[in-house]
């Protein structure tokens, strides 16, 4: 079942799988992803072994709303890096309470692709409301990520990371950091959570390959980690 609904000031797509959802999935949805979200959810619905509800909230300005701090390699706009806290506040103070009113208290999985994956991972270090996080091809090449990660342990119990095996093979020096940085993040997570509660999966291809499939795989891994008893 799929429906459109406005929650707060954002349009949301809501997908329900089963009669009584036991897990809540949340994903920032960029304009460029609107053609692939149905495919992603079809994969999740087919692979899930529990009933769930997925809420994809619209992000109209991808960089502005999801980048946790300024980095000129992300954008030369100085305002980029100042608004991710507002997006996280929307998720925790408006979106989740509205969904709890409809579905009750459920384990929450936050996930996303690229900058949305970075946002999900960053948010899990700023809040403890998420049970699991799917950071799929996250933009952890952003300047200062490793220092931030060292100072901010994750608040989720389980974390999925993934990257394309060609993403670090680029002449762009900033983007090329992504491989080393994601390995560093994975090592930190293994120390914090234990190896059974974190995953780093390598996918074939570059950053722009199979985003719907990759994101669905991340959510499915998280679903197996979440306690839904």
3-state SS class at 21: coil
Give residue 119's pLDDT band: very low, low, confident or very high (50, 70, 90).
very high
What pLDDT is stored for residue 228 in this prediction?
64
pLDDT tens string 188-220: 999 999 999 999 999 998 888 899 999 999 999
Residue 143 near residue 117, CB atoms below 8 Å = no
Domain residue limits at 47: 2-225
* CATH number of the CATH domain containing 19: 3.40.50.1820
Residue 86, judged by CB atoms within 10 A of its CB (0-12, 13-18, 19+), counts as: exposed
The predicted pLDDT at position 167 comes to 87
Number of domains in the chain: 1
Cβ atoms of 12 and 53 closer than 8 Å: no
Name the helix (H) or strand (E) containing 45. helix 37-47
- Asked if the model's pLDDT at residue 34 lies above 80, the reply is yes
Please, which contacts does 3-11 make with residues 24 or more away whose CB atoms are closer than 8 Å?
7/55, 7/57, 7/94, 7/95, 7/98, 7/99, 8/90, 8/94, 8/95, 8/98, 9/90, 10/57, 10/58, 10/90, 10/95, 11/57, 11/58
Residue for token pair 């390995």: 183
Per residue in 47-65, pLDDT (tens digit) is 999 999 999 999 999 999 9
Name the residue with tokens 């994956």. 117
- The three-class DSSP label of residue 166 is coil
Max Cα distance, the chain (Å): 49
Helix (H, G, I), strand (E, B) or coil at 118: helix
């Amino acid at each position: 079942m799929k429906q459109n609904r406005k929650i707060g000031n954002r349009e949301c797509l809501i997908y329900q799988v089963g009669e009584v959802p036991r897990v809540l999935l949340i994903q920032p949805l960029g304009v460029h992803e609107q053609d692939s979200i149905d495919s992603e959810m079809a994969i999740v619905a087919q692979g899930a072994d529990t009933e769930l509800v997925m809420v994809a909230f619209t992000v109209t300005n991808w960089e502005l709303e999801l980048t946790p701090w300024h980095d000129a390699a992300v954008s030369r706009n100085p305002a980029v890096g100042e608004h991710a806290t507002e997006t996280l506040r929307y998720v925790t103070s408006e979106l989740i309470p509205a969904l709890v009113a409809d579905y009750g208290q459920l384990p929450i999985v936050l996930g996303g692709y690229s900058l949305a994956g970075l946002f999900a991972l960053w948010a899990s270090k700023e809040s403890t409301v998420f049970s699991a996080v799917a950071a799929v091809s996250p933009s952890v090449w952003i300047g200062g990520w490793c220092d931030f990660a060292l100072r901010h342990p994750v608040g989720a119990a389980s974390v999925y990371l993934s990257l394309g095996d060609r993403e670090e093979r680029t002449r762009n020096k900033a983007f090329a950091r992504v491989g080393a940085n994601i390995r560093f993040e994975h090592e930190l997570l293994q120390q914090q959570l234990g190896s059974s509660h974190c995953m780093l999966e390598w996918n074939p291809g570059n950053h722009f390959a199979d985003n719907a499939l990759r994101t669905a795989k991340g959510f499915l891994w998280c679903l197996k980690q979440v306690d839904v008893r």
